[in-house]
Amino acid sequence: MNAETTPGRIRNFILNHFPLARQRAVGDEDPLLRTGIIDSLGILEVVVFIESEFGITIADEELVPESFESIATMSRFVDEKLGRGAGA
């Protein structure tokens, strides 16, 4: 998948910042929270990345585990915030 797509940009960040993601060669649908690849502090890092990378603001009430469970769910969340279809 192209690194310039939403999932590609998120995947690159995850792989570069979370060693377990590289070790387990996570795919876009693999659970990141349940498997311990990303913990609660890691989610904060992901949120800061997403806000700066995509120029969006994530409200406290949007910080629900379902939106950050996998690269795919994060990508859909970002694309919805940007008002475009998933994977754009």
Q: What is the pLDDT of residues 15-31, one digit of tens each?
A: 999 999 999 999 999 99
SS3 83: coil
Instruction: Give start and end residues of each alpha helix (H) in 24-70.
Output: 40-54
What are the residue ranges spanned by the domains of the chain? 6-82
**Percent of the chain predicted with pLDDT > 70:** 92
For domain 6-82, give the fold: 1.10.1200
**Token pair listed for 29:** 């649908």
Give the HSE-up count for residue 51: Cα atoms under 13 Å, Cβ half-sphere.
Answer: 12
